[in-house]
Chains A and B, each alone.
Chain A
Amino acid sequence: MDAAPAGEGGARTGSGRWVAVETDRDPGLQPERTRLAWRRTTLSWAVVAVLGVRQALRRPGGGAALPVTAVCVLAAVFLAFLALAHLRIQRLGRSPQPARLSRRAALAVLTCTLALAACGAALIL
């Protein structure tokens, strides 16, 4: 029996021979793996955002202005990241050879994460 050729699409025939099948799909499932990486990152975001909200709610003393602002900023950046991830996942699913991540999206992720860190620093101090 022939071994499956590495990195190529194929199918086994009734007699057990591998034959190449023309397909657009990447046998390494790169778009799918990238989609799951976005999902994992969104999940991490959710955990950190919840910790941030907890931080705002249990802040001792001081006025309510800072915690309220912080919760609003946290919600906004989480939703912004969720939207970014959603749009990217949709783009990844649209074609078998998706376009690369745009510079603007990468900078938006950067902005969200920096806003989260700034929010955290303001709450901790």
Chain B
Amino acid sequence: MSDIGRLRGAREAVRLWFAPSRVEAEGATPDYRFSLANERTFLAWIRTALALIGGGFAVDQFLTHHLTHWVRVALSLALLAGGVACTLRAVNHWVRCERAMRRGTDLPQSRFPASLAILVAVIAVAMVAVVLFGWAG
């Protein structure tokens, strides 16, 4: 997909967040239990975002003896950015699932969980390396 196409897709997605009438106009209202399951998934992603944000705070507050100031700041900001991405994803996925259920189509596919897993794995490996080799500040 070209960059312009991607930008247009993002704009379209954000417009969908703010336009409930556009989603509610199509298809049939799904079983309330499916909507509640979608809501719980949304909350689970919000908790993931909170865990990443909390991890960002924790890195800055508790790794003072292991990392220099700027490494700590970079790592914290990376975790905070991951939290922001998870939050945006939570709302986007919730809206898209709701729409798919109304239309009776397949639920949206996403590469996001795999990307997040890789990000978390990289940070975890970096932390193990820091602890093992004792990179003191």
Contacts and interface: CB of A to CB of B under 8 A. Distances in A.
B77 A113 contact: no
Interface string A89-124: 000000001111111001101100110110011001
Interface centre among B47, B53, B60, by most A CB within 10 Å? B53
A98 B46 contact: no
A54 interface: yes
Interface in A8-64: 26, 28, 30-31, 33-34, 37-38, 40-41, 44-45, 47-48, 51-52, 54-55, 58
Nearest to B86: A113
A55 B57 contact: yes
A125 interface: yes
A40 B43 contact: yes
A124 B76 CA distance: 8
Nearest to B92: A110
Contact of B57 (A34, A40, A48): A48
Contact of A100 (B32, B54, B58, B84): B32
B50 A41 contact: yes
Interface size of A as a range: 35 or more
B22 to A, nearest CB: 10
Contact of B61 (A31, A38, A54, A117): A54
B73 A44 contact: no
Contacts, number: 113
Nearest to B17: A107
B40 interface: yes
Contacts of A120: 53, 56-57, 76, 80
Interface in B14-41: 17-18, 20, 32-33, 35-40
A19 B137 CA distance: 70
Interface centre among B54, B73, B94, by most A CB within 10 Å? B54
B51 A98 contact: no
Contact of A110 (B40, B47, B73, B88): B88
Interface of B: 17-18, 20, 32-33, 35-40, 42-44, 46-47, 49-51, 53-54, 56-58, 60-61, 73, 76-77, 80, 83-84, 87-88, 90-91, 94-95, 98
Q: Which 9 A-B pairs have the closest CB atoms?
A: A100-B35, A51-B57, A103-B20, A48-B54, A113-B87, A44-B50, A30-B36, A37-B40, A37-B43
